[in-house]
Structure 1
Amino acid sequence: MFELFLFINPLGLSCYQLEKRIRLLAAELQLEISVNYIPLVTMEAMKADMVKRNWNFNTSINLANYHNASVSAQSFYYAVQIAYGKKKARSFLFKLQESLSDGQRSYSPALAEELLESLNIKPEKISSTLNDACLKDVIARDQQLARKFQITVLPSTVVFDDQIDNSGLLLDGELSDDDLLQVFQNSADSCLEPLMQLTENAPLYYPVSHLHLL
């Protein structure tokens, strides 16, 4: 089984496309994959997504609005995770990104609540969780994980294969189907095993664009 840590911009178009690609590929290859979604809010990711959507980020108002929306979406995700578990939180985040993917709708707390209701999640329960002190602790824990894995761009994916001990593969940025196929198929055949040994201070590098070992 593969375990993925998917570090994403909660509102990012590239992140949504990568998530969808991983889902489709897992179904096609009949792979058992556990995905941990970790939404992060960074200036670089916000600007990159605004460029991809042809939005102007060269004004403080536009960037501030995007930042506020990102923080709100991130908070809703973790509130759902705390109140209902990771599976519901993943479903909420994917639905949110899907609803924003065509550019016809803009993020708002009202949209978030609409999606919560479509998933049979009680908005009032989420509202109380948003004000819970543990929310900041959960977000801080995942931010610490991002620092541990040295995440510098979004999306980034960390892949672990439970058949290979003490190993991890970091896939930086946007990925093609070929990139993902190379990781999942080669790992399944144990072809990556000699390359996937962790080193304490000197990480090894896998000779394909976007990929390096932890």
Structure 2
Amino acid sequence: MLEVFHFITPLQFESFQAQKALTQVLKSLNTKSSYHILPLINLATMDETYRQGIESNTHTPSQVDYAISLDYVAVLSQGRSLARKFLYAMQDQILVRQNAYSRTMVTKILTDIGADMPLFAEERLIANPAMLLTKNQQFANQYKITKNPTAIIFDSNNNESGLIIENFSTTNLDEVLNQYLNKQHTSLPPYLVLHR
């Protein structure tokens, strides 16, 4: 089974594209996978958001990134699949349709995907979402992740190494993952191989 940890910046278009690419490739593989999206908000990852010119009447891009990250983590208590649907819908509204982030948008998307609104409201108010974002940052620091999108991929049948892939919306993901799964590490570029 593949364990995939995908570090993203919610308002980064490359992260949005990489999420779609990785989801598609994981579905096409002949192996089970566990896909974790980990919002990572820091000064290095915020630069892209500012360059894209995401605008809001009431929030700076960093506030919107942080708010979407907290919303996403709050939805996680209802399952990763539902949380991914929420995140994709938010990104589509802001990045593709150019709508401004608002609580009304959040409520509409949560209703559309069938989320439990009282549970979301409760999770959003407690400290756990912020703590999870801190854990994401600690996990990123452990593997020296500084750019988004970046994915760390481990195979449960391979205890020696994993893969680390940056900017993979343009990388031939299915070929790289199949080489990794077939233990053809020698044909992979050394910078992709992550030793445990």
Q: Which residue of 2 aligns with 1:93?
A: 87
Q: Distance in 2 between matches of 1:17 and 1:73?
A: 17
Q: TM-score, normalised by structure 1?
A: 0.79
Aligned alpha-carbon RMSD (Å): 2.6
Q: Which residue of 2 aligns with 1:72?
A: 67
Q: Which residue of 1 aligns with 2:141?
A: 147
1:182 matched to 2:175? The reply is: yes
Q: Which residue of 2 aligns with 1:21?
A: 21
Q: Distance in 2 between matches of 1:30 and 1:177?
A: 20
Q: How many Å apart are 1:168 and its aligned residue?
A: 1.8
Q: Which residue of 2 aligns with 1:213?
A: 194
Partner of 1:38: helix, strand, or coil? strand
Q: Which has the larger radius of gyration?
A: 1
Q: TM-score, normalised by structure 2?
A: 0.85
Q: How many positions carry a matched residue from both structures?
A: 194
Identical columns (%): 23
Q: Which residue of 2 aligns with 1:165?
A: 159
Q: Distance in 2 between matches of 1:26 and 1:93?
A: 18
Q: Which amino acid aligns with 2:192?
A: L
Q: Identify if the C-alpha distance between structure 1 residues 56 and 143 changes in structure 2 by more than 3 Å, giving closer, same or farther.
A: closer
Which has the higher relative contact order, 1 or 2, with Cα contacts under 8 A spaced 6 or more apart? 2
Q: Which amino acid aligns with 1:39?
A: P
Q: Which residue of 2 aligns with 1:122?
A: 116
Partner of 1:164: helix, strand, or coil? coil
Q: How many Å apart are 1:126 and its aligned residue?
A: 1.6
Q: Give yes or no for contact 1:8–1:39 (8 Å, CA) kept in 2.
A: yes
Q: Distance in 2 between matches of 1:87 and 1:27?
A: 13
Q: Identify if the C-alpha distance between structure 1 residues 123 and 11 changes in structure 2 by more than 3 Å, giving closer, same or farther.
A: farther
Q: Distance in 1 between matches of 2:82 and 2:97?
A: 24
Q: How many Å apart are 1:213 and its aligned residue?
A: 1.9
